[in-house]
Homo-oligomer: A and B are copies of this chain.
Amino acid sequence: MKRTRVTLRDVARRLDVHPSTVSRVLNPRTRSMVADAMAERVMEAVEDMGYRPNPFAYSLKTNRSFIVGVLIPDITDPLFPPIIQGAERTLAGAGYTTILADTDNDPERQRVNFEIMRERQVDGLIIATARFEDPVIAEHRGGDIPMILVIRTINDPAMPCVINDDAYGIGLIVSHLAALGHRRVAHVAGPQDVSTARVRHRAFEDAMRKAGLEPDPSLIQFCCSFAEEEGRGAASDLLERGETFTAIVAANDLLAIGCLDALALFGKRCPEDVSVTGYNDMPFVDKIQPPLTTMRIPHDEMGAMAARLLLKRIEGDATAEGSISIRPELVVRASTGPVAAGKK
């Protein structure tokens, strides 16, 4: 039923010229090879006949797809849409189309999607699904397809990435808490196979020491994923065990929200009894009760940066900067406050 598309040959025939002439006119790089008068006529016919180049023919010939793949662990995590948006916008501006895959936080699905994208001959890959030790990425490192990581990085400092400076951010948070008089600070850590969670955990301990506070191992809870329920569970454990603390540094906002839930469940007030901090400043954390103190990261900008870096590499600029680390910004809201007089 598909009414057959207008081809290059159709246009050529109508003008009684050779297809390659038409091709040359259409390609900016070869456009100068053809006489202006001819070019004019060609453009007119192209316009008139509604000619659209066939991308498959082009790609088959040139091995360039003008498609970039984006791998996301979970698109319903509010962290990722801005990244996708930033990347997609930049990519579209450069004439690239974005293909999206949601790996559902599953390494196996990541592998499969990686494979699919390879088969589809994407010109490059933006990856937000990296685990710290990631065989799939390691395997393709140095392969023929340019890749860049966003948000999460891997166990290899040479791998190009756009991340935020987690150590710096956690440092800011701990200082903020210390300045408010907190000494017993708990940490609800994220899944340690993800770089952000891992770095934040290390940074938490370092920053505590730097603030003259020995981190107490019994105040550190590890979560299996960056999910609200995990945060709720972790904080509940702390509370159930009867640990004493006046603040919780959660590894991200979702975890922090879970902590808030647990606090409410146990009849603790935030920030009067326990202060809580998040990380990411994701949408609407300023609307929750209490509004969350957190670290702001320019996610859309990071998506755009990743896309730009990738494009440079795709376009063969070997001198393109390797990686970018962004300094996040502390946003103080009502979930943190001074330690109550009696609790110091």
A residues in contact (CB < 8 Å) with B: 1-3, 52-57, 59-60, 63, 65, 67, 70, 74-76, 78, 80-82, 84-85, 88-89, 92, 97-102, 104, 113, 116, 118-121, 144, 257, 260, 283-284, 287-289, 300
Beyond A2-B63, A97-B116, A98-B100, 9 extra complex contacts between A and B, CB < 8 Å: A52-B119, A56-B65, A76-B81, A78-B78, A85-B102, A88-B102, A284-B287, A287-B287, A287-B289
Which of B80, B81, B100, B113 is close to A99, meaning CB atoms less than 8 Å apart? Answer: B100
Nearest B-chain residue to A2, judged by Cβ: B144
Contacts of A116 in B (CB 8 A): 92, 97
Which of B97, B100, B287, B300 is close to A120, meaning CB atoms less than 8 Å apart? Answer: B97
Q: Flag if B75 contacts A121 (CB, 8 Å).
A: no
The answer for the CA separation of A241 and B144 in the assembled complex, in Å, is 64
> What are 9 of the A-B contact pairs (CB < 8 Å)?
A54-B60, A55-B121, A56-B65, A88-B102, A89-B102, A89-B104, A97-B116, A99-B100, A287-B287
Shortest CB-to-CB span from A55 to chain B, Å, is 6
Shortest CB-to-CB span from A340 to chain B, Å, is 22
The answer for the CA separation of A76 and B87 in the assembled complex, in Å, is 13
Which of B67, B75, B260 is close to A84, meaning CB atoms less than 8 Å apart? Answer: B75
Nearest B-chain residue to A143, judged by Cβ: B3
Contacts of A3 in B (CB 8 A): 144
Q: A interface, by DSSP: helix, strand, loop or mixed?
A: mixed
Nearest B-chain residue to A300, judged by Cβ: B76
With A60-B60, A119-B52 as contacts: A144 and B97 at CB distance below 8 Å: no
Contacts of A104 in B (CB 8 A): 89
Q: Flag if A56 contacts B53 (CB, 8 Å).
A: no
Contacts of A102 in B (CB 8 A): 84-85, 88-89
Interface centre among A101, A113, A300 (most CB of B within 10 A): A101
Shortest CB-to-CB span from A276 to chain B, Å, is 13
Which of B53, B113, B300 is close to A119, meaning CB atoms less than 8 Å apart? Answer: B53
Shortest CB-to-CB span from A335 to chain B, Å, is 12
Nearest B-chain residue to A284, judged by Cβ: B284
